[in-house]
Amino acid sequence: MDYSGKHVVITGGTGALGTAVVAGLLAADATCTVPYVHEAEAQRFLHSGDPNVTLIAVADLADGAMVAKVYGGLTLWASIHIAGGFAAGKVADTGQAALMAQIDSNLVSCFLCCRAAVNSIKGDGRIVNVAARPALEWRTGAGMAAYTVAKAGVAALTAALAEEVAKDGILVNAVAPSIMDTPANRKAMPKADFSLWPKVEEVAATILFLASPDNRVTRGAIVPVYGKS
């Protein structure tokens, strides 16, 4: 894939999946803008010294002013929205604040970044969101209903926006990962069979294709990236 001359925003780009996506983009000659919230992630980000990477500190991507800070003045080819958060919890134990935290970090941030991306893409372009397996398979969201509701919203947003902007030449898609093989997930579930989990590089490869000029026809898809799990 060739991203030369193309500018891409990657939210959540300093995380495990985001780092793999940025690595693929840089290998394909893209210019990357990476907003980040957590300073510790930015400090250990492998690509922080790359001349084709611009890191931007933001407090909250569910804040329209922060999103405007990231996208202001940019002319983009693509925007990839990985940023989000996860919290488990039964409905009976989840208060309004916890519910809204999941909706803000996952859905509101994605919506605002999609809006900014549509206004920053001049001509053809691509948007890729990150949903989750429970967004497609609701019963698997038992015990994490707030997260499931938020990610289901990301899936619905993806399909609706794809229809809105198709005639403008912007193709909008999403991936829906199952549990990915990351150090944090291994630590949280030490008895799981890690060999079944998709690797972040494998999920990144799907994102990179959907965001690339090589993707000429796929839009409105919520692509399962489950590996063997």
Q: Which two tokens stand for residue 44?
A: 């250990």
Rg (CA), the chain: 17
Q: Are strands 31-36 and 170-177 parallel, antiparallel or unpaired?
A: unpaired
The catalytic residue among 3, 36, 147, 226 is 147
* CA distances to 73, 91, 139, 147 from 143, in Å: 42, 7, 10, 9
DSSP 218: -
Concerning whether 71 is annotated as a catalytic residue, the answer is: no
DSSP state, residue 198: P
Q: Is 120 left (phi over 0), alpha (psi -120 to 50) or beta?
A: alpha
Chain centroid, CA 41 distance in Å: 16
- Residue 19 has φ and ψ, to the nearest 5°, of -60, -40
Measured CA distances, 185 to 67, 104, 188, 189, 190 (Å): 28, 22, 5, 6, 8
* Residue keyed to tokens 């990357």: 32
Q: Which residues are catalytic?
A: 147
